[in-house]
A = this chain, B = another copy of it.
């Protein structure tokens, strides 16, 4: 497989494949045979040098490029296109020991030590200098190499809870960042509501990270610390990107984001990249990253991962750089334009409590799904299983003994022409916002429900109805969408409210979950209470919210029957003109409004106050119907995803499933014309 050198339109004709390889970890005599085998397997890309700083610069200022020169040439000789990485996720020992002040501090106030990875503080001026230096060095060396087609910055920002350092350089920079944001202490004290517990600051240097407080810190304080840390990551990366643009023109620059990572604003951090990539480990994701409420599914989908968790991440990362669905990034002849899966599980992982083998067919299924959700390239992690260090029990396409492992066979059997480039034809936008996530999870109020769980409940309901979904920022351009779903956008600004209102006026149907517009940009509540600036559009005000422990029954009734609600129930006081479609039955909310529908312009505003998957499904079914979006009833574990005029039919279960008369065998897919 080689790339058509001058393909004009979509940069890639169909899905392409790659692999992550670590030549520095194996004897040099393995490099050539590995590259040859990679080509023979049909791979087009190889990502290398991700953690290789101590090999590039074994001693301060002494660079050793010989090995990397040789490695790049070896891949190039087989026609493989190389993606290089800035190695800043792993500052070497000599740098850390010379400058221990670059180490981050955890949320218990302890310095996080050298000995694994991601041991640095994004705000450290010293580390920033070294980050720029090593980036420039590698970019100058390889930026113009014909085999080098792109760059990955660092690795998995935020992984291992590294988004935030709670001391050191970050603590030092925080007051200045606040001063810039607020201008005056009066403004800060007012915005945070610091009068509450005499938390008012009288000087900027009194401000510190929100840790080790006697009881919980002011959520406004914690919210701004999250924003500050996110800004530090954005700055850190922007410095690298600028150097890469300067030294390596015509190449793409991306970052490999991590599953459900919540520690920074991905929209802010992805700005300036060509496209986003992410690291897709469906089984580890389910075991380790699934939000509350997936206990039963951990067994049911132990060998495939949960289809909607994976799909959501695809849709999320596809939408990072887009206000509209479809083609992303700047593209250019011969350059794939993303998004990618930069690391794709191809056997067991090693980092979850349980690390089962994937089912037969799962690697192919994940690859097909990645295509259908808009990815241009899927790059497997990793070529050969590591024979030393932390990831010995992680699989690769080759076993430790260099024989092809199970995933290798599934990759070899893929028919890439069957996965053509093209658009994901989503007519539903699901809105997402990291600030809402932070403020929601700082005060969950009901154990067992968080921002991701609430968001996924709506996403899963949409997918079970067969809808394709774009996940977009809550402030994205909504034009062209028939339905807009805002499951948990709890932070509302007047500007955001105006944009949503305009979309409804123009015909969109807006569906909001509980806690929508409950909080202001400072983390307070609107003076007039929920829904703040959205009250006009939704035609109602909050009555009560109720936090439910497991077993505490709350039921909702509507024309379609009765539904049980879990964890959260919210009731409303509707204005005239707002239809109450569902009401609570029994308990302290008896008779109160549980779901509302308010016509507005050409569209409508709908609110669902109860956390009830069945109710959500019913309401969404009705809204999609009124919006003219086709729905279907998919059996559990069967999913549809559409791209480029085709429909990918997927069976994620261990038994055969039938849909519309089509039999889909266990853990398999079919590509069909729409």
Q: Which residues of A does B touch, CB under 8 Å?
A: 22, 24-25, 51-55, 58-59, 87, 89-94, 96-97, 104, 106, 108-119, 159-160, 162, 192-203, 205-206, 208, 210-221, 287, 298-299, 302-303, 348, 350, 353-360, 385-393, 399-401, 405-406, 443, 445-447, 519, 522-530, 541-542, 544-552, 587-589
Contacts and interface: CB of A to CB of B under 8 A. Distances in A.
A195 to B, nearest CB: 5
A213 B114 contact: yes
Contacts of A401: 527-529, 541-542
B527 A387 contact: yes
A450 to B, nearest CB: 13
A587 B194 CA distance: 58
A385 B358 CA distance: 51
A524 B387 CA distance: 5
Contacts of A117: 197-198, 214-215
A159 B324 CA distance: 51
Contacts of A59: 202
Given A198-B51, A401-B529, A443 B213 contact: no
Nearest to A189: B54
Contacts of A205: 97
A110 B92 CA distance: 26
Contact of A206 (B94, B118, B159, B201): B94
A90 B197 contact: yes
Contacts of A522: 388
A426 to B, nearest CB: 34
Contacts of A22: 196
A388 B192 contact: yes
Contact of A110 (B109, B358, B359, B525): B109
Contacts of A524: 387-389, 392
13 contacts: A93-B206, A196-B388, A199-B389, A218-B390, A353-B447, A354-B446, A357-B544, A357-B546, A358-B588, A387-B524, A387-B527, A393-B445, A400-B526
A94 B551 CA distance: 47
A110 B544 contact: no
Return the 4 tightest CB-CB contacts between A and B, nearest first: A193-B388, A401-B529, A196-B389, A90-B198
Contact of A54 (B198, B386, B526): B198
Contacts of A194: 54, 389
Given A199-B54, A215-B117, A387-B527, A357 B588 contact: yes
A549 B302 contact: yes
Contacts of A94: 202-203, 206
Contacts of A549: 287, 298-299, 302, 353-354, 356
B213 A112 contact: yes
A213 to B, nearest CB: 4
A160 B193 contact: no
A253 to B, nearest CB: 21
Nearest to A399: B529
B91 A198 contact: yes
B389 A552 contact: no
Contact of A217 (B110, B116, B298, B399): B116
B390 A356 contact: no
Nearest to A212: B113
Contacts of A529: 399-401
A388 B447 contact: no
B446 A355 contact: yes
A552 B350 contact: no
A131 B230 CA distance: 39
A72 to B, nearest CB: 17
A217 B115 contact: yes
A34 B198 CA distance: 22
B198 A546 contact: no
B389 A219 contact: yes
Given A53-B198, A54-B194, A213 B406 contact: no
Contacts of A51: 196-198
Given A112-B213, A112-B214, A443 B350 contact: yes
